[in-house]
Amino acid sequence: MSITPAAYLGSGVILMVAAIFLVVLRIFPKDEGVQLHNEWEETRTSINKSNTKKNFIIGILICFGAGYLITGRLLFAVIALIGVIPIAKALNQSIVNKKKSLMEDQYTQVLNIIVTSLQGASSNVYKVLEETVASLKSPAKEVFVEILHRSRTGTKHYEAIGVVAEETQWEDLKQLEMAFRLYDTTGSNLQQVCTHLLKNAYDRKGNKKYVEATTTQIRITGIILSVIPFFLIIFMRFAAPEFVEPLFYTVPGGIVFGLITIMVLAGNKYIKNMMDSLSA
């Protein structure tokens, strides 16, 4: 009994829907805060391994489903599994970038709270940190809870900020570390320094949004142009199968299809590198 084109299409669509559903769950995970303390490195390694395994499975579904949907042949679906590792890495990076972006957005809120606390005639650094913790939301709240915890156990406040900045990879906190270090060592005006950092943070945030808006349009255009050839192949495979059959059942056709795929992927890689250089 031969398998009908509708069965091929249905199988491919089911695999792609399952993959997209899992991708959405991975890119928008439930917020679990930022775990710190002494076991931070071990916990982060464990979480990364768990994410890698899940994203590896998602990559298999995406590659196999796309290959099967486009070609209708198991051979090409298996060959498409070459893309599993790059897709898994991209999904891992998207989760990391989402958390970093959230913390970067909260940096201006952190500085606002510190400046407001200092304007209230509060010169006690620990009181300023306490007020900051009380006003923040996750994940920044957990970060400053840990900073306050370490400050109360004998670590200088600016050293605590620096260490936590390294552990959480929150680069903006290094500026705050510098401000508190200057205040502690030279007696500089902490309010003025934080006000200057706040103004600079707003400027960078505005520039970042402009760049993101511009690069997002280019990325979307690239995705659309990349999908069109494969969408046409899928359409022609069911509308006029004899027209595209040589692509998947002859050696020259397979070579042509491979070259098309490589050129599309190379174009996407070039666009990604260009957008990353603009966003840097």
Report the alpha-carbon distance of residue 33 to residue 30 in Å, rounded. Answer: 9
Which pLDDT score is estimated for 231? 92
The predicted structure's pLDDT at residue 153:
83
pLDDT of 32 reads 44
Nearest Cα to 151, choosing from 171, 133, 172?
A: 133
The answer to whether the peptide bond before residue 241 is cis (omega within 30 degrees of 0) is: no
What is the band of 20 on the pLDDT scale with cuts at 50, 70, 90? low
Three-state DSSP at 171 gives: coil
pLDDT digits over 149-207, tens only? 888 888 888 899 999 888 888 888 899 999 999 888 888 888 889 999 999 988 888 88
For the CA atoms of 149, 154, 158, 161, what is the dihedral angle to 10 degrees? -30
pTM: 0.63
Tell me: the pLDDT tens digits for 261-270?
999 989 888 8
Taking residues 58-62, report their average pLDDT. Answer: 91
* Residue 277: C-alpha distances to residues 101, 265, 271, 272, 280 (Å): 17, 18, 10, 9, 5
Pair 62, 22: CB distance under 8 Å:
no
Alpha helices for the chain (secondary structure H) = 5-27, 40-71, 74-79, 84-119, 125-135, 140-152, 157-168, 173-186, 190-239, 241-249, 251-279
pLDDT per residue as tens digits for the range 198-248? 999 888 888 888 888 878 888 888 889 899 999 999 998 888 888 888 888
pLDDT at 60 over 60: yes
Return the pLDDT at 151. 85
